[in-house]
Amino acid sequence: MPNVAQVMRKELKKIAHDASVKDAARRMRDERVGSLLVEKGSTLIGIVTETDVVRRGVAEGADPRSVSVQSIMTTPIVTIESIRTVQDAHDMMGDLGIRHLGVTEGGKLVGLVSVRDLLVYFKRVSEPKITQD
């Protein structure tokens, strides 16, 4: 079974901690991603996801134009080592109820793996089981 490094996204999409939730939502839409890493200076301090925007922002009645990403982000970033298997990432996401994992090598964040990345991988390696009439 492949390891996480083989399915992760290496390009880390980041946003400043003081950016608005509206700016984050627009970036996620425009870049077709479900999360952005939150940066304060040159340090990654968390991750903001579509779920954070909905549950901690919109559902709480926050004004997305004035609320900062830092106030709704998830911290710390949950990580997995790049040598772990794709199944390990799947199990970890399921156990923790999360959709994104930071991928590390020697303690340094080198990528991100999402539920979507895992779905694409498992679809590619599995035999079709459902057919259309």
pLDDT, residue 123, reads 86
Give dist(CA 38, CA 36) in Å, integer: 6
Residue 62 is predicted with a pLDDT of 85
Question: Which pTM was predicted?
Answer: 0.87
Pairing of strands 79-81, 100-105: parallel
Amino acid at 3: N
Strand partners for 68:
20
CA dihedral angle for residue 51, residue 56, residue 60, residue 62, rounded to 10 degrees: -100
User: Quick one: pLDDT at residue 130?
Assistant: 62
pLDDT digits (tens, 9 = 90+) for 108-126: 999 999 999 999 998 888 7
- Say which CATH topology domain 4-125 has: CBS-domain (3.10.580)
Half-sphere exposure of 127 (CA within 13 A, CB side): 1
Q: Which residue has the tokens 């990580």?
A: 79
In the predicted structure, residue 33 carries a pLDDT above the cut 70: yes
Query: Could you state, in order of their start, the residue ranges of all structural domains in the chain?
Result: 4-125
